[in-house]
Amino acid sequence: MVDPDGRIVVLIVEDEPSYVDALSIGLVGEGFVVAAASTLADARAQFVAVKPDILLLDVMLPDGSGIDFCRELRATSSVPIIMVTARSEEVDVILGLEFGASDYVTKPYRLRELIARIRAVLRRSGNEPASDVIMSIGEFRIDTVRRSVVRDGAELELSRKEFDLLALFASRLGQVVTRDECLDEIWWGRDLADTRTLDTHVKRLRQKLEANPGNPIHLLTIRGVGFRLDP
């Protein structure tokens, strides 16, 4: 559910008030609508009441396991779920993902990283405002639900990161997306030894989009700043 102003509704299921308070302030500051629950019973009621677009779900809750709740939700709903917990054991990660979690973040986390993961999960799930689901840019048609890019009736073969980059550029059509924003959104703010990974992905994406990759007209490099996608 997107609220009347077009904002994404996030349901935080977490029993530690300090995490809820800090995260709520950060998410509201980024334009999200926030609801919170401290128990599984509260979460079930809030899920029905607010119809969230995405859940941030702790594993350890006073009245049960968030992993069990994730499995429960998956029986009836495809809402994106990010597991947020202090427990980082591999078995928890595997169980959460096998039972339908979209992503997994361990505490302590950086707010910018978590917000980047939320946006990436929403893009991958297609659980975005309808106006952003399908974008027509020049001869390209970008479908964020099917994660497909079609040009003149033919679907382009893009890797996951290539598609995520293109979707990011397309959401900011005609605007410069800085290198730091690319790293935050696509690589979740991780510190890379260098930025050649980003450059390599942009180069490969350009080779698939441009008739003449050496003289691009769509995906442009703004030297010293970032990149811009033009129609």
> What tens digit of pLDDT does each residue of 92-134 get?
667 667 778 888 888 777 787 788 888 888 877 765 544 445 6
pLDDT of residue 42: 94
Residues 6+ apart with CB under 8 A from 176: 222, 225, 226, 227, 228
Q: How many degrees, rounded to 5, is the angle at CA 124 between CA 12 and CA 210?
A: 145
Q: CB neighbours (10 Å) of residue 50?
A: 17
pLDDT of residue 170: 85
Q: CB neighbours (10 Å) of residue 42?
A: 18
Q: CB neighbours (10 Å) of residue 104?
A: 18
Q: Which residue positions in the chain have pLDDT lower than 70?
A: 1-6, 87-93, 95-96, 126-134, 145, 188-195
**3-state DSSP call for residue 200?**
helix
Q: How many degrees, rounded to 5, is the angle at CA 123 between CA 33 and CA 108?
A: 65
Residue that has been written with the tokens 């890379």 in this structure: 192
Asked whether the beta carbons of 163 and 186 are under 8 A apart, the reply is no
Residue that has been written with the tokens 């302030």 in this structure: 25
Q: Which of 52, 48, 60 is nearest to 14 (CA)?
A: 60
pTM of structure: 0.57
9-125: CATH topology is Rossmann fold (3.40.50)
Query: For residue range 132-156, what is the model confidence (pLDDT) as tens digits?
Result: 456 777 788 888 767 788 888 889 9
Q: Where are the domains of the chain?
A: 9-125, 133-229
Q: Is the CATH code 3.40.190.90 the one for domain 133-229?
A: no
What's the Cα-to-Cα distance from 22 to each of 18, 35, 130, 185, rounded to whole Å?
6, 13, 29, 21
Q: CB neighbours (10 Å) of residue 37?
A: 24
pLDDT of residue 131: 43
Asked whether the beta carbons of 147 and 122 are under 8 A apart, the reply is no
In this structure, the strands spanning 9-13 and 60-61 are unpaired
Distance CA 142, CA 101 (A): 25
